[in-house]
């Protein structure tokens, strides 16, 4: 570039001297100020419109809250009911009767009023038996004559009649007091739920199976004679036997 043209040229023309000005950088730098002013004008216009809209909107009515005072109304003419206390009737004190002393006055009977009876002699008492029947008469003894004895003279007593056989003891089919698991039915259910393991391959989801069991509770509380229904499965039988052997001793009936 000539020296004369340097003083008249722009700085941008000096930088892009001998370079490709149609690439785009030259045009962007040349029109930078124009685009800047245009964008600022658009932003200012948008802000101005928003401010104008704010002022153009009608004013909202302000609602002023009023204080309402509710006067206290005294209700007159009410009659207060007096509480009546009902006292329980007083119990009369039991009067203890004075102690009574039973006294008996002895009666003295003279010796002449007592009749003397003499005992019978040996001759009078021979071949006589004394009866065991009480007599109402005074001073006489009931005498039973001796009956003639029968027998062969060997001295054997007559044979006694055989006694009737004793009744056989009644066999009870049901116990009057039923045996009980220690702790009751609720404790038995808890014990079974903790120890009983149902075979998974024998039960479908949601299925309930009932296995009737019959057993005997001995006097010492142990279980014996465990029997199952004929249609019960062997897997359930073995599991129930295992759990029943683990049970504590029952309370016998």
Q: Using CA atoms, how far apart are residues 188 and 85, in angstroms rounded to an integer? A: 55
Q: What is the pLDDT of residue 37?
A: 94
Q: How confident is the model at residue 39 (pLDDT cuts 50, 70, 90)?
A: very high
Q: Using CA atoms, how far apart are residues 55 and 195, in angstroms rounded to an integer? A: 84
DSSP 113: G
Tell me if 194 sits within 8 A of 234, measured CB to CB.
no
Domain parsing of the chain, residue ranges: 3-42, 185-246
Q: Using CA atoms, how far apart are residues 253 and 221, in angstroms rounded to an integer? A: 9
DSSP 57: S
Read off the pLDDT of each residue in 132-140 and give the average, rounded to a whole number: 49
What's the pTM?
0.33
Residue 227: beta bridge partners? Answer: 214
Q: What is the pLDDT of residue 139?
A: 47
- Give residue for tokens 């700085």: 11
Q: How confident is the model at residue 41 (pLDDT cuts 50, 70, 90)?
A: very high
Q: Using CA atoms, how far apart are residues 182 and 188, in angstroms rounded to an integer? A: 8
Share of the chain above pLDDT 90, in %: 8
Residue 47 above 90 pLDDT? yes
Q: What is the pLDDT of residue 50?
A: 93
Q: Give the residue with greater pLDDT, 168 vs 90.
A: 90
Residue 17 above 50 pLDDT? yes
Q: How confident is the model at residue 64 (pLDDT cuts 50, 70, 90)?
A: confident
Q: What is the pLDDT of residue 146?
A: 47
Q: What is the pLDDT of residue 118?
A: 60
Q: Alpha helices of 61-212 — where are they, by DSSP H?
A: 122-125, 185-195
DSSP 171-183: PPSS-SS--B-TT
Q: Print burial letters for 217-242: b (CB count within 10 Å at least 16), e (below 16).
A: beeebebeeeebeeebeeebbebbee
| Lookup: tokens for 169 | 């003891």
**Other CB atoms within 10 Å distance of the CB of residue 12:** 13
Looking at every residue in the chain, the average pLDDT score rounds to: 72
pLDDT digits (tens, 9 = 90+) for 141-164: 444 444 445 545 555 545 556 666
Q: Alpha helices of 196-233 — where are they, by DSSP H?
A: none
Q: What is the pLDDT of residue 72?
A: 73
């Amino acid at each position: 570039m000539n020296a004369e043209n340097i003083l008249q040229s722009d700085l941008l023309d000096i930088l892009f001297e001998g370079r490709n000005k149609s690439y785009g950088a030259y045009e962007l730098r040349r029109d930078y100020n124009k685009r800047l002013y245009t964008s600022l004008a658009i932003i200012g216009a948008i802000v101005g419109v928003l401010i104008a809209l704010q002022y153009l909107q009608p004013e909202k009515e302000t609602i002023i809250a009023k204080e309402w005072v509710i006067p206290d109304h005294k209700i007159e003419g009410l009659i207060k009911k007096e509480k009546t206390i009902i006292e329980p009737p007083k119990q009369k004190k039991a009067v203890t009767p004075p102690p009574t002393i039973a006294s008996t006055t002895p009666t003295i009977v003279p010796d002449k009023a007592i009749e003397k009876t003499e005992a019978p002699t040996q001759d009078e008492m021979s071949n006589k038996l004394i009866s065991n029947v009480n007599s109402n008469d005074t001073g006489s003894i009931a005498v039973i004559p001796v009956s003639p004895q029968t027998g062969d003279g060997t001295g054997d007593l007559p044979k006694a009649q055989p006694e009737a056989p004793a009744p056989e003891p009644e066999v009870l089919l049901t116990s009057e007091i039923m045996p009980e698991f220690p702790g009751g039915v609720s404790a038995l259910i808890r014990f079974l739920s903790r120890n009983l393991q149902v075979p998974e391959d024998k039960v479908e989801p949601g299925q309930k199976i009932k296995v009737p069991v019959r057993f005997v509770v001995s006097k010492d509380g142990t279980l014996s004679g465990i029997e199952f229904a004929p249609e019960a499965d062997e897997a359930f039988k073995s599991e129930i036997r295992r759990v029943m052997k683990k049970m504590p001793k029952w309370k016998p009936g």
